[in-house]
Amino acid sequence: MVGKWHMGEAEENYPTGFDYWSILPGQGDYWDPEFIEPSGINVEEGYVTDIITEKSLNWMRGRDRTKPFFLMCHHKAPHRSWECDDKHKDLYKDPVRLPDTFTDDYKSRAKAAKVAKMRVAEDLTYQDLGLVQPDGGRRVGERVQQEKGASERKIPAPTTAEGLGALKLIDKDDGTVFTFTSQGELAEFKFQRYMQRYLRTIQSVDDSVGRLLDYLDHDEPGLTDDTIVIYTSDQGFFLGEHGWFDKRFMYEESFQMPFLIKYPQEISPGSVCDDIICNVDFATTWLDYARLPVPSYMQGRSFRPLLQGRTPAEWPQAAYHRYWMHNDIIHNAYAHYGIRDQRYKLIYWYNEALGIKGARSGGEEHKEWELFDCEKDPLELFNVYHEPEYREVVRHMTALLEKKMLEIGDEPVHPKPHATALGISRVSMVSIRNAALSALALAATHCDARQRAKDLLKQMTWEEKIGQMGGVRRVLSSGTTVNPQYDTIRQMQNGQMGFGPMFNWAGDIMEVVNKLRQEQVNSSRLHVPYITVTDSVNGLFISGGTVFPSNLAMSASFNLPLFKSAIEAIREEQLSIGVRWVLSPSLDLAREPRYGRIGELFGEDGYLIGEFGRVYVETMEEEDGNGYTKVACTIKHFVFGDPRGGVNTASQYGGLNHLFNDQLRPYLHVLETTKPASLMVSYATVDLVPMSANEYMLQDILRARMGFEGLIMSDAYSIPNLYTQSMTATSLEDAAIQALHAGLQMELAPAGSPAVFPTLLSSVKDKKVAKLIDEAALKMLEIKFGSGVFEQPLADLDALNTTLRAPAHLDVARQMAREGIVLLKNDGLLPVTPNKVAVIGPFGDIINAGSYAAVNSTDPQYGNSLYRSAVSAFGANKVTFARGCDFVDTTDDSGIATAVAAAKEAGLAVVMIGSLSAPMDDTILAAKRTDGEFFAHADLGFPGLQQQLLDAILDAGVPTVLVLSGGQPFVLDSSTLRANAIFHSFLGGEFTGDALVELLTGAVNPSGKLTISMPQHSAAVPAMYDYLPSDDQGGSTRLLGYHSAWQFPNLTRTVPMPFGYGLSYTTFDIAAPVAKVQGSGSKAKEVVVSITVKNTGARKGQEVVQLYFRPATTRGLEFPVRRLVRFEKVDLEAGESRELAFTIPYKDLGLWINAKLTTQLGLYHLWAGSSSREEDLKMGNVTLT
């Protein structure tokens, strides 16, 4: 600690905790200053700014370079009165433009503005401007020093010609005499003199910063990249604005502080953050970077996420100000406090001394409010507090002010004319029996979610805290029957709840569920409600809602606005049944096609997954009109997507570079752009450590490097698995301890067996365990307060009846089904309007929606099967149905002949085969499931006799449309590819059948694209499009000059139907990308890419313009052959063309090396096209400089 300390000069005020300190007494002197050091008081000859800089550099040179360091270099400059270094006396001689408000008359402002004695024209002293004081207190050539006890006189401001004529001001340095003929001339002289001396003084500060940065850049190689450099001050300063000098007031020039920070590892150079931070946030931020705990007495919060470009959703975009020194003898500045958000500023001038040392009475009769609209009135000239149109703003800002004062423990002294200013506008539906607690809960609504959570946590027992870390997964068994284990479980696990079996209808059970919710509030000692948590893949996890396509089908639309509409609908349906927290979205990479849960994922590309994940979280976690998060999200499963053999709990391979450049890419994108409330770990082991006990991945990577701030939860059974499966724990109790230490804060309890977190109760005497339990319970309470569940813990039954399956929701689900189906082949057969059609195959008369879709596969209350849709469209006399074979049985082929006969008789066959992903509770078809959770695929062909059925139809020569069904890719062998047309419908929701009929007939033009590549052989996987160049075994041909005709087609990574592939009934031309670097030199930070797309066909259609890239070469790490960086779906009439422009920051073209994002300069290849296939792409180049 070197330089200005200003915390008191008594010994008890000296710095503590520093290895070295040398501080100025008080403000210190500019020349030959005294320094207080542990050894005593020393006088240093020279100029203070240079001395402080040299002391700082000397400490840097002599420190232990093996250890981290923290240096505070605090300058006296530019504190008044200014005195520059001799070498700067001739700088800044050009006039400085007068501020627009220099002659402010303070009309329409508080009385405090007019009475303050801080005016440049009237209140500056001879010493301030380096002039000879008439009483001889200063002599020409004498250094201007802040002499102790000196009497400083103000420069006169004569109002008459006689007075002006008699005024002569003398420069202390060279004796120059200044005379004046008008008040305006004198006022401007003072301003120019003031600015010259100010600028010359801070020039030394600028020099000092340069010397310190030069040391980091040159004296210790590599130090600059590992050092956080901050340039800031404790406040702003008036430089003639409103005619003032000095500070004190809450007006912008004084209120805003300079803040510059440099940290190449995390902060993008030249970036600007418009969020609001306060100086109380500094300490917590530095502790965050140092990975040290924040003491409980600190009120700030770390703004490290803001510096990383991520603004947490709950970041308080407001700053509080209070000035205590009322009516001080020098400045006459009145006491006030206020709040500033991104647009408005509210100030209350309370004008009382309140016993503060140095404050004086006076002005009490001028108590008043000011409100400024800083967007419309940036100069703060018009107080709109009493304007009628700002009445609601006044209420909002007053409530915000009171909330902030309550948070920090400051005492309001203003009157409270508006009852609504308390912010208590919602009436809880819960009848809380304890009136005192009810009042406490109402008062707590002043505070933000975190503060309310902290206040409640202080009142909780250990049992209650641990209870928040789990819940009752199934409060009901069948129908409205309460789970027999419910009361036993909720005694120890009562943080969250789930409904029960999927086929319980929402309208039937909600009254009973509400009763259980109400009982939990009433019976809980502190009246803490459940928060209802549920899966949300296709929509509700109980029956009665709209059944949307699964994620793989929705991502195939490549339509983010449509996806947003779908998530809005799902969110509103979830809210109507009281769900405030969903276990979605899944950000796993679908890299292993044998994995059974691919249907729940968004595809194989990290950027695409990140974009769909971003929209999901943004939409679900929108705030309602009262500032509550509508529905909290859980990103999952951290880390997964490439499991060995496709097994659901299998290990995940890859080092740090592999993880950051593949599996973590979607998480990095979502965490950069949103603030998900929670994260679920995977079942996998990463680097041989199970994720539920992987402290390195959760603390060092997820928390410290990726900046995740939300709650971390287990997956169901994942904590017990440490003991029962992975055998890395010695007992269930040991598994709980390991999980807690790793960072898990909530246990998604198994549905039918006890949770393990309750065993932590025996370990609370361990201080670290106790601290971790506190942190976990606090996170849970934050989510509850943040989502408004304390205010509304029950479902609104009226809203339920009008929201579930609303016509608008059904329309969105229908459109998503249309756009999510991919046309893989068409030899000209389609579109077709058949005279007759035979619907063939075991999937032809069911809805294959997915294992997390709450719909029986044969339930007529939801949508239509393909067969029922065809009957509806063409008439029953034109449609026949033949099942042909079973889903999985291989012994009964008797139905194949019947199916062939039906196909021949109709003259057109639509064969629907695939892999069954029936809901978990589907008692009709559950035993025949071959897709979904717990079902890895050893073979990517068709189960049972389905291939034989298809071959028989094709052998008969009947024109055939093949429809694939299931949440997976399939291997399409040469026999299968004989089909005239092929669709993949994935798990398309309840309107799959209707959409397929519309696509077959051409009522809808296909526009879906694959988001997972189709392998050529079950053994030749993975087959993702963005493989590494060294992964392609086709390279052996170049070495040997030949290759086995048997093996080569199976080993090449260039598959015929890769990511992004999909056909249309029209044609498009996508031009080569044209790219240019935006900016020049060091300011070049983004690439703008223009792409022209034209509909060259005869009918309207939609095309997905896809942009891929790769560096020409990469140093250090291998880069994929190409990678998606942008996409956009466009709707074009026949003959219409459109130019798209994509703006791509340099960082989006980067590569993670040892967990640091690096974008190398040089040549980059760009490709634009309709898929990732070589033949569908056109190339361009750009050079990053």
* CA distance linking residue 427 with residue 701, whole number of Å: 42
In this prediction, residues 685-710 reach a mean pLDDT of 96
* CA distance linking residue 1022 with residue 592, whole number of Å: 6
Q: Under 8 Å CB-to-CB from 901, ≥6 apart: which residues?
A: 882
Residues 867 and 1009 in one domain: yes
In this prediction, residue 447 has a pLDDT band, given cuts at 50, 70 and 90, of low
* CA distance linking residue 255 with residue 571, whole number of Å: 41
Find out whether the peptide bond into 718 is cis, omega within 30 degrees of 0: no
Q: 539 in a domain, yes or no?
A: no
- Quick check: 708 and 312 in contact, CB under 8 A? no
Buried/exposed 793-829: b ≥16 CB within 10 Å, e otherwise:
bbbbeeebeebbbbeebbebbbbbbbbbbbbbbbeee
Residues 1118 and 1003 in one domain: no
Q: 339 in a domain, yes or no?
A: no
Residues 973 and 1072 in one domain: no
Q: What is the DSSP string of 923-982?
A: TTTGGG--SSTT---S-SS-STTHHHHHHHHHHTT--EEEEEESSS-----TTGGGSSEE
Q: 1106 in a domain, yes or no?
A: yes
Question: Does residue 273 register a pLDDT over 60?
Answer: yes
pLDDT for residue 752: 64
The domain boundary, picked from 995, 1025, 1055, lies at 1025
The domain boundary, picked from 1025, 1055, 1090, lies at 1025
Residues 1086 and 962 in one domain: no
Question: Does residue 724 register a pLDDT over 60?
Answer: yes
pLDDT digits (tens, 9 = 90+) for 942-977: 999 999 999 999 999 999 999 999 999 999 999 999
Q: Which domain CATH number covers 953? A: 3.40.50.1700
pLDDT digits (tens, 9 = 90+) for 218-229: 988 889 999 999
The share of the chain scoring above pLDDT 70, in percent, equals 93
Q: Are strands 1156-1158 and 1151-1153 parallel, antiparallel or unpaired?
A: antiparallel
Q: Under 8 Å CB-to-CB from 770, ≥6 apart: which residues?
A: 462, 764
The domain boundary, picked from 1025, 1055, 1075, lies at 1025
Q: 764 in a domain, yes or no?
A: no
Pick the residue with more confidence: 1125 or 9?
Answer: 1125
Lowest mean pLDDT among 80-84, 904-908, 1030-1034: 1030-1034
Most confident of 61-70, 79-88, 553-562: 553-562
Q: 894 in a domain, yes or no?
A: yes
Return mean pLDDT, the chain: 91
Residues 987 and 1073 in one domain: no
Question: Does residue 431 register a pLDDT over 50?
Answer: no
Residues 902 and 969 in one domain: yes
Residue 658, SS3 per DSSP: helix
pLDDT for residue 356: 92
Residues 967 and 820 in one domain: yes
Pick the residue with more confidence: 669 or 646?
Answer: 669
Beta bridge partners of 1165: 1110, 1181
Q: Which domain CATH number covers 1078? A: 2.60.40.10
Q: Are strands 245-246 and 336-341 parallel, antiparallel or unpaired?
A: unpaired
* CA distance linking residue 32 with residue 41, whole number of Å: 13
Lowest mean pLDDT among 6-10, 864-868, 984-988, 1110-1114: 6-10
E strands, 113-223, where? 169-170, 177-178
Q: Residue 269 burial (CB < 10 Å; 0-12/13-18/19+)?
A: exposed
Question: Does residue 648 register a pLDDT over 50?
Answer: yes
Q: 1012 in a domain, yes or no?
A: yes
HSE at residue 870, side-chain half, CA atoms within 13 A, is 27
Residues 997 and 915 in one domain: yes
Domain that holds residue 1095: 1066-1184
Lowest mean pLDDT among 153-162, 180-189, 590-599, 744-753: 744-753
pLDDT for residue 435: 32
In this prediction, residues 925-937 reach a mean pLDDT of 83
Q: 885 in a domain, yes or no?
A: yes
Question: Does residue 1018 register a pLDDT over 60?
Answer: yes
Number of domains in the chain: 2
Name the token pair of 915.
Answer: 């892999």
pLDDT for residue 639: 92
Query: Which has the closest alpha carbon to 616: 652, 692, 565, 679?
Result: 565
The share of the chain scoring above pLDDT 90, in percent, equals 77
Residues 992 and 889 in one domain: yes
Q: 247 in a domain, yes or no?
A: no
Residues 996 and 1096 in one domain: no
* CA distance linking residue 378 with residue 260, whole number of Å: 22
In this prediction, residue 149 has a pLDDT band, given cuts at 50, 70 and 90, of very low
Q: pTM, whole model, 2 decimals?
A: 0.68
CA 852 to chain centre: 26
Residues 852 and 983 in one domain: yes
Residues 1015 and 1089 in one domain: no
Q: What is the largest CA-CA distance in the chain?
A: 121
Q: Residue 435 burial (CB < 10 Å; 0-12/13-18/19+)?
A: exposed
Pick the residue with more confidence: 683 or 438?
Answer: 683
Question: Does residue 1056 register a pLDDT over 70?
Answer: yes
Question: Does residue 423 register a pLDDT over 70?
Answer: no
In this prediction, residue 235 has a pLDDT band, given cuts at 50, 70 and 90, of confident
